[in-house]
Structures are given as structure tokens and as C-alpha cells.
Structure 1
Amino acid sequence: MRVDAEYVLPLRWHDDRDLDELTAYLRDLSRWIDVTVVDGSAPAFFRAHARAWGGHVRHVPPAVEGGANGKVRGVLSGLALARHEIVVLADDDVRHTPDSLTALVTELQDADLVKPQNVFVPCPWHARWDTARSLVNRALGADYPGTYGLRRPALPRGYDPDALFENCEMERTIRAAGGRVRARRDLFVPRRPPSARRFWSQRVRQAYDSHAQPARLIAELAIIPVVWRLRRRRGILAFLALAVIGLGELGRRRAGGGAVYPRSASLWVPVWAIERGLCSWAAVGLRLRGGVPYAGARLRLAATPLRTLRLRMTDDAVRSRGGRNS
């Protein structure tokens, strides 16, 4: 049974080491749902992808110009071409199943944006380290996944292609317009882990995302000063380590997560916290220098505050009414 929706996959590859694996996934995926791959890869890679995927999916270059975030340009290009009102957005490392696609689309019957929960499969050491971040997010609210279910009318004008934290920008844009955003913490979608090299390259960039959440940024910036101040008080440090492990375990067990997350993932939370504390200060340094280097440019904006988006939409609506009345 096919899912009545469009699967939009934006990508921009610099090597094809995973081409065979992704090709096999797209071949299966095309039997379940209509697929559009928006490929911003260099011409030689684009041609190789066209040969590998052309018989199974719609394979196109990005059509949206302007904006430094290539992933957002790919998403907006795919949304413009989608043949269905309901769209599943997914990164190239996400691996949906027929059941997860069906569940995601079903949730969109009374929501505008649905966010499931990614889980790394397999889960080597660096993926467990990164999983600690997801566990903290789950404990405090909800994680930001690499895949969403979306009703296209909820994003009539798209969202800012200059925002680094593109998932947060998309969610806030929909909320600002009055859209309904739903977190399905119990809908687990597999995701292939990055290479260890890519994992290390993402540390500061992920920390920069917290500039979109000032209270969280302040807390993360405080980690290293607090640890340094308490460095000789090992009992207190041990208590703090146990407390953050407990926070991670709360996130691991929430909404059935204990069945899919490895037990050792919570033990990585103190390691992740120290890493985040260090990288947060590095991210502040990058902000002072103009932002995070990204595809030959610098992205200063993490994500637009929700209040700012609402004010912009109100102003746009007023101008629109004024234009009609003139």
C-alpha cells in the first residue's frame, strides 16, 4: 500500500562512498511513496546520481536561489515541486520504514507539522555520545529530528534560508503563523550515524544552535566555569555527574525510549555536557567573527525568535490589507 504523500530529500554530496546504500534505500522507498531528491551536488556527482536514481525517483537540482543554507534551499525547492499536500522531509541519513511513514502521515490529519524521534542504527561510540544530546532534549522537551511530516499550506512563504538551525526556524515559522506542531517522541525513525570525522566536525556547529535559545545558551556557557570552580570538590562534581546521568536516563525512558536507546547512552551525558560547555564558548567566538563557516559563507543567524516572526507576519498582514483597501 502506497502512502499518499511526497518524500522530499535534499542533499549535497562531496563523495559517493554511500551511493550504493542510499540507492538501495531509495529503490525500496519509491515503492511506498512518491520521492523527490533535490540534489545540490557538483555536476559530476549529480550525473552519477541521476544514473543511479533516475528510474526510481524524481531527481532535480535546487531551483530556489538566495540564502546561504543549502539544505533550506533544497527543502523549499522540493516543496514547490511536491505532488501532494502532505510531505515527508528527511535528511539523507534517515531510513524510514512503511510503518513510520504511515504513522507520520496519519498524525498530519490534525496537525501541520509532526516531529518524530530519530535513533541511530547502528550506534557506535560516537553515535552514543551524540545520542546523549537527544536524551537531554527528550528529558527537557523534545528533540529536533532529521525528518518531519509537513502540510505544505503551513509554509506558504517558506522559511529563512539564512538560518543555521533550520529545523528550529521551520518549526517557529509554522508556530508563528498559528500552525499546529506535534512531537511524537514515541515514533522512532532509524538514522545512520555519521562517520567519526564528521561527528567531530559538527561539535561547534551544533553548539552554535543554542544561540537560538538564550536560556539554554547561558546554561551551557556556565558549565565550564562551574566545573572549574568546583574542581577540588570531587564529591559535588560526582553528584552533578550523577544528576546529569539521571536527566539522560529520564530522556532515555520517556515515551518508550528504553526499548530503542542503548543503556549506556545515559552514561555519555556528562561527556556531552563538558563538550557542549567547551564548544559553546567556541561558538560565541565564531559569532563575534560573523558566524559559523558554512559552504563558503558565514551564517550568523541561528534561528529567528518566535516573537519576531509573529511581529513580521502581523506587519505583512497589515500591509496586505492596506494594499487591498487602497
Structure 2
Amino acid sequence: MSTTAIGRSAEYILPLRWTGDSELPDLAAYLELLSGWIPVTVVDGSSPELFERHRAAFPAAVRHLRPEPGGSDGSNARGNGKVAGVMTGVRSSMAELLVIADDDVRYTCESLTAIIAHLESADVVRPQNYFDPLPWHAWWDTSRTLINRAWSADFPGTLAVRRSALLATGGYDPVLFENLELIRTVKAAGGREKILPGLFVARRPPAFRHFLKQRIRQAYDDFAEPRRLATELSLLPVFAAASCLPARYRGPALLGLAAAPVIMAGVGRRRHHGNFFFPLRAVWCAPLWALERAVCIWIALAFRLTGGMPYMGSRLKAAAHPQSELQRRHSGKIAVLRQPNVQTPAHNPRQEQP
């Protein structure tokens, strides 16, 4: 399938900021395949030495850019650098339908075509990620995904968005939970979100050391979802209370606490044919993940109270802004854009490679 088959109205944007190149051969091979289906832009915030190494390894068809500094107003270079990378790609794109993906996401031609097709009737589209391959720590992290699917829906490392809708908002803020911020910003402006828990897109699992580093950061994301945060903050006190019960009650209470996440993970696994992509053993890891989150959410709270979550040499306090706050900022912007006499923001000419 060539890029003309998907159409030049679509583009793939990959923000990148690496400190090492152990995954470069795998990424370069994926980009070789991907660039045969859709125009690809990599916005690379890595060091100059790594940037040049990436340019040499990436296929010639891939557009390779440096990120512009900026948050939603183009002026804030601090915060989550991924947002600056995404917005550089969005502003420089000549396509209306954009697929934004982390460096570990691996689309097939079919899943890429499907998400772009869904974007025809929405402003932002959220698919479902699954790990491939599955080392043991990915089973553990998959249990989090399954509980999310049972609770509501999971947040993947990739989204599709209409360029005009995102530009109408002026962009989104460089908070920690940046994908949720993007979704909320587009929805606050009047955009339509489409959630697709049955559209499965593979992603590579993190290395074990990186997996360990993610534990508290993932917990910190829950400060963007107050009801979930309250539930998770209650886990450790409930577990402690159950552990202090008389012996005749302690066993059944602890068994019940362990069974609850297993049941939830099982429900999430069965939804939308997830059993074809998520192994059963991930369901049995759910109590371990729940115990991990019960501890990590309190550590995350300590970071919150002392200035925010450490990230790339700074500290980010906001996980994501409340929908109500974004509504006050952006309400009606997409509707105004789509009035007959209002022009869609002009496409910027593609930037020259540095």
C-alpha cells in the first residue's frame, strides 16, 4: 500500500526525545514500513549528536525536524517537551487528518487506515494499545489496561486528531498527562471525541528499568481524574484495616480485596474482543498492580504537595487541567471555525530540515 492509498490528507507525527539509541534499528525499520503508507514527520528533540545519528538511520522519505519551543501559546519551553514536538509537527503539516504516536507505537496498515477513516466523523480518536511482545513486567502493566477498560476506557500512546480543530484551540498545555490534556482541550472547544476500545494498536513494552520509573508517574496522572484518585487513595487504608481484623475475618477480607481487581480485569479483557490481544495471565496480575498503585498513589501525593512530579530536570504540578477550566478557555472555538464565513487556518509550508 502506498501513501497515495491512504491519501495526502493524512500525516503521521512522531515526537521523539531520546538519550540513548538502543531502540533505533527497530524504530528505523518501522518508519521504513510506515512511510510507504503515509507521510511521516519525526520531530526530534534529542541531543545534536543523536539527532544526526537518527537522520542517517531514518528513511529518506521521513521528514525530520527540530521541535519549536512552546506550549499552547508557542512561548513556554518548559513542561512536557512532547507537547512542543507534537505542536511543531501539527503547525508544519500540510494534512488535515493527523495521527500522533509515541515512538513505541506500532500501527499496521489496517489499523492506520481504520483510525484515519474514523477521524472523518470526529475531531479526536482514541484507539486501544496492547503490548507486543509481552515480557513479564508487561503482563503486570497490562492488568492496569484491563482495569481501565472495565472502569471506563484506557488512554493509549497514540491519538488521531483533526489539524484544524487542534489549531483552533491554539494548542494544548505541556502538562504531565499530555494525551488527556489534548483530548480535553479539543472537546472543550466543541470537538467530538470517538473512543474505539475495539481498534487495537500494538506498542513495544518498556525496558524493565523504564517500567520501574513509570510506576509513580503513572499514579500521578490520576490527579487529573478526581474520582479515580479518591478511589485509589482509599486502597491502602482499606488494605491496612483488613489486615488488622481478627484472624477469622482477615483471610476472607483480604481474599475479597484481591478478587475485586481480578474480576475487573477479567471484565476489561472480555470487552470488545480484548481476549484476542490480552493474555489471561495479565488478569491474575491485577491484585499486584492494585497493591502497587495503593502505595504509589501516596508517594505521588507527597510529590504533589512538595512541588510536583520530577520530569526531565523540572517538576510538573499539573497532571491535566479540569474540563471546566478548559471549557472557560476554549468554549465554541471549533464551532466558530466551522461557520461558513470563517476560513480554516491556512496550512503552513513545510519547514526545511535543519
Tell me if TM exceeds 0.5.
yes
| Match of residue 199, structure 1, among 175, 191, 211 | 211
Q: Which residue of 2 aligns with 1:175?
A: 187
| Match of residue 256, structure 2, among 235, 239, 264 | 239
Aligned pairs, number: 316
Q: Normalising to structure 1: TM-score of the pair?
A: 0.94
> Is 1:77 the counterpart of 2:88 in the alignment?
yes
Q: Which residue of 2 aligns with 1:321?
A: none
> Is 1:160 the counterpart of 2:173 in the alignment?
yes
Q: 1:265 to 1:316 in 2, by over 3 A?
A: closer
Supply the distance in 2 between the matched residues of 1:27 and 1:47 (Cα, whole angstroms).
Answer: 17
8 Å contact kept, 2:42–2:65: yes
Q: How does 1:42-191 map to 2 (within 5 A)?
A: 42-53=47-58, 55-65=60-70, 66=76, 67-156=78-167, 157-161=170-174, 163-191=175-203
Stretches of 4+ aligned residues off by more than 4 angstroms: 314-317
5+ residue gaps, structure 2: 71-75, 335-354
Shift in Å at residue 314 of structure 1?
Answer: 4.7
Residues 102-155 of structure 1 show CA distances to partners (whole Å, capped at 9, x for unaligned) of 000000111111111000001111111111111111111110001111111111
Shift in Å at residue 315 of structure 1?
Answer: 10
Q: Which residue of 2 aligns with 1:323?
A: none
The one-letter code matched in structure 2 to 1:11 is L
Q: What secondary structure is seen at the aligned counterpart in 2 of 1:178?
A: coil
Q: Which residue of 2 aligns with 1:320?
A: none
The one-letter code matched in structure 2 to 1:276 is R
8 Å contact kept, 1:26–1:56: no
> Is 1:226 the counterpart of 2:223 in the alignment?
no
Shift in Å at residue 313 of structure 1?
Answer: 2.5
Residues 151-208 of structure 1 show CA distances to partners (whole Å, capped at 9, x for unaligned) of 11111211012x1110111111011011110111011001000001000001000000
Shift in Å at residue 64 of structure 1?
Answer: 3.1
Q: 1:63 to 1:140 in 2, by over 3 A?
A: same
8 Å contact kept, 2:189–2:331: no
8 Å contact kept, 1:64–1:76: no
5+ residue gaps, structure 1: 318-326
Q: Which residue of 2 aligns with 1:250?
A: 267
Q: Normalising to structure 2: TM-score of the pair?
A: 0.87
Shift in Å at residue 244 of structure 1?
Answer: 1.5
State the percentage of identical aligned residues: 50
Aligned-residue RMSD, C-alpha:
1.4
Q: Which residue of 1 aligns with 2:22?
A: 17
Q: What secondary structure is seen at the aligned counterpart in 2 of 1:59?
A: strand
Q: What secondary structure is seen at the aligned counterpart in 2 of 1:9?
A: strand
> Is 1:32 the counterpart of 2:37 in the alignment?
yes
Supply the distance in 1 between the matched residues of 2:280 and 2:144 (Cα, whole angstroms).
Answer: 15
8 Å contact kept, 1:8–1:36: yes
8 Å contact kept, 2:190–2:332: no
8 Å contact kept, 2:224–2:321: yes
